[in-house]
Homo-oligomer: A and B are copies of this chain.
Amino acid sequence: MDGSALSDAFRVYLRNHNLPVTPQRLAVAEVVSSRERHASADEIARALSAGGRAVGTATIYRTLELLVRSGLVMERDFGEGFKRYESARGMPQHEHLFCTTCGAVVEFEDDRLDRMSTLLAESHGFTRSSHRLVIYGVCAACRRAS
């Protein structure tokens, strides 16, 4: 039950900002980093409860806000009506494939998209800060099953 890479980095971040390192904060960070699938606030709450370390809803949201602000976690929105969170890990900018049948998410990187989006923004007078691409479709498993 040693700290994950994310919770270690979060600990450092909190210290550097003179913010208390609490077990709740570390627990939330650990759950986010332990999930392969992008977690929603509700899923994080359930995982913590299931592990006997229940954390209040407000604290979960407040911690997620901190994690996002620290740059350690990315906030995602796949149009489901709520947000999902994923560790920023070593993937600085990446895109998502979302299976509209089972909700599976596949990530991938593509340098061309990064460059292209910057150029597209500039050609319309914008200074690009980031972009978000989600491709919707049906994954191989679901296509086979149908």
Chain A residues within 8 Å of B, Cβ to Cβ: 77, 79, 95, 97, 99-100, 106, 108, 110, 112-113, 116-117, 120-121, 124-140, 143
Q: Given the complex, which residues of B lie within 8 Å of A140, measured CB to CB?
A: 125-126
A130 to B100, CA, bound (A): 10
Q: Given the complex, which residues of B lie within 8 Å of A135, measured CB to CB?
A: 117, 120-121, 126, 128, 130-131
Smallest beta-carbon distance A103→chain B, Å: 13
Residue of B whose beta carbon sits closest to that of A131: B135
Contact of A129 among B108, B117, B131, B137 (CB under 8 A): B137
Q: Given the complex, which residues of B lie within 8 Å of A97, measured CB to CB?
A: 120-121, 124, 126
